[in-house]
Structure 1
């Protein structure tokens, strides 16, 4: 029976209630039958641990912690023992899998145990993916660690080498897995796919709110300025206030002066808690005045508000720090192995990484599927309106289309 709304009823509905009622009708009109699964997955992700239609129609995935070691390509020796959580779809036939995913967390003190990440892993497992979530030190420390790129590659190698995945890919083929990376982990995941033993095992890579050029990330987090590729003018936004202090914390170790490292750590801790608190040590002394040359250069970069001064300030940083930033950047890297394998999802309202970064990465890799989501801030779909929900459903459908049996 068709749904009909009387004119008088429309005027009595609140704006939120009206959108809740309107959303299914818009979906029916705009989403193809093939996309309904993506809609259910999106609603399940949005629901978190709460009930959903997808939960009602699929088994509860199993989750267990595993340990593994991977032979390192540079020396042929086993690497360090690592831990991860493995999520199995738990279907009636244990061998009934549609693909494999390495899910890479962004910044969260809980790491792989973050409840939102656990819910996301279970949502993907309900669609037939065998999901591996590695435990990354940088994720828990809320800092970008270059060494985590190797650990992501190890996770890819381990997952693709499991017997059930080798069988899924067929005899005589190199087993491949997908990678879904969140926020700053997107750059690390891309770097992981450049590792010799992981490159051929990359089936596809999904980046949610990722970066391309570390110089532009510094510019945005410190000044709020960003530029869409192809445009000459700067755009302006309000970045998340603690973001630059997280950035500072993540790069302090590259400084050679231990006193500067300790002083900047104290400054970053204060600024992460408050934007206005006095920068004083335990004896009431000015912390900024205690900085040496290296520390002053880095602090000047963090407090600069002029977009045009970012490049010269970066050039004045210690060489060790400049090398670290260059190593983390994706700009000017050879990424042709990701042609046709990259799916990028980015919110137009992202306060941590501007959406222009995903556009730039998309421009650098041919045949990338790029989804810019209206009203989407960073990684929380609950604030997204109707149009954004439809765009997110399209993005999820692009991921589900990469399954082996589809």
Structure 2
């Protein structure tokens, strides 16, 4: 009898001690199912009330900004704050995929801020976005958590993940950011430019080249974003017209535009025509100085990753044709190993969950569990006072 008593006591203790972990594990699975469902039905949607979405305005450095805020529905209190940064899409924070993901986060008891960054709607990433995201993070932390340390998380997609990581490294905000969760980020602008023009990529300078067909959308967004930094207004206009034509129809012939380009534009076009990965670095170095300066401001490879004090959670699809998974592999190798977690998914298709197998679901569940663990370790919001 005594033996059975102690066995029963042990089972009760284990149930009580591990109940939060088991609950979080179950919630992580529900989160993955809800992300895969998009706006469709899921058990998480059936379990928790629909989030409340509102648009707010706020002023930073004399400029009026806008953001969407998603709060848990049904009167439930948020457990933590996250800034969600969309990728480069014309709909910006109104993109249905972003709306669905923000609602999943809010159902997971995050208070979610989705800034409306005009650059992303313009199909560009700009170094100015770093300052804007840093200022927003500081503003949210000061308003919602009285400036508590490790009080804000950042989730960022695709090319916008680079500026988001840089914002988390900013001296003004690095103590405030507890985690950065990225899906399909870049690391090295030179290796990214090599891939987008040649299709070749590798997991490190001493690793073998791999190849796949890069997304035409990603290549021409790269051109579209780069055009803004040329000094020649005619070349800026022509490259934008070329990229808009290609974004509308990947098969359109743009050679008629190319013959009109001046020296700056021709340097960009020579890079586009190159298919030899060994020549790409030299061609990138020959780009206009103003464009190279912007690349350097956005290049994570040129930064001291020790300045990132937040937990870094990297999720990347092996089948990603916009940004190869090798970028997240290289970033993970450069970052602090104790605070960095890399999850490579077989079928993710950049930022959209594909037909995942058991191993992919297990990997995604681990990433989701880690995200929820960070949430539960953060100070909760004290008020909803950012608007105005």
| Bucket of the pairwise TM-score, normalised by the shorter protein | 0.7 to 0.9
Corresponding residue to 2:221 among 246, 257, 269: 246
Contact 2:85/2:155 (<8 A) preserved: yes
Find the counterpart in structure 2 of residue 154 from structure 1.
135
Find the counterpart in structure 2 of residue 274 from structure 1.
249
Is 2:260 the counterpart of 1:290? yes
The residue matched to 2:53 in structure 1 has which SS? strand
Is 2:28 the counterpart of 1:38? yes
Is 2:82 the counterpart of 1:101? yes
Distance 1:277 1:230, change over 3 A: closer
Using the TM superposition, give the Cα deviation of residue 160 of structure 1 relative to its aligned residue in structure 2, in angstroms: 1.2
Aligned Cα RMSD in Å?
A: 1.9
Contact 2:169/2:309 (<8 A) preserved: no
Distance 1:227 1:336 in 2: 24
Distance 1:273 1:369, change over 3 A: same
Contact 2:169/2:308 (<8 A) preserved: no
Using the TM superposition, give the Cα deviation of residue 361 of structure 1 relative to its aligned residue in structure 2, in angstroms: 0.8
Is 2:307 the counterpart of 1:317? no
Q: Which runs of 5+ in 1 are unaligned?
A: 1-30, 71-77, 281-285
Using the TM superposition, give the Cα deviation of residue 380 of structure 1 relative to its aligned residue in structure 2, in angstroms: 0.8
Corresponding residue to 2:194 among 219, 226, 238: 219
Contact 1:98/1:405 (<8 A) preserved: no
145-154 or 120-129, which deviates more? 145-154
The residue matched to 1:81 in structure 2 has which SS? strand
The residue matched to 2:155 in structure 1 has which SS? strand
Distance 1:405 1:176, change over 3 A: closer
Higher relative contact order (CA 8 A, sep 6+): 2
Find the counterpart in structure 2 of residue 60 from structure 1.
50
Contact 2:68/2:113 (<8 A) preserved: yes
Distance 1:101 1:157, change over 3 A: same
Corresponding residue to 1:260 among 235, 239, 245: 235
Using the TM superposition, give the Cα deviation of residue 210 of structure 1 relative to its aligned residue in structure 2, in angstroms: 0.1
Is 2:64 the counterpart of 1:81? yes
Alignment of 1:326-365 (within 5 A): 326-339=296-309, 341-365=311-335
Distance 1:395 1:301, change over 3 A: same
Number of aligned residues: 356
Distance 1:370 1:255, change over 3 A: same
Using the TM superposition, give the Cα deviation of residue 292 of structure 1 relative to its aligned residue in structure 2, in angstroms: 1.2
Using the TM superposition, give the Cα deviation of residue 200 of structure 1 relative to its aligned residue in structure 2, in angstroms: 1.3
Using the TM superposition, give the Cα deviation of residue 45 of structure 1 relative to its aligned residue in structure 2, in angstroms: 1.3
Q: Which runs of 5+ in 2 are unaligned?
A: 1-20, 379-388
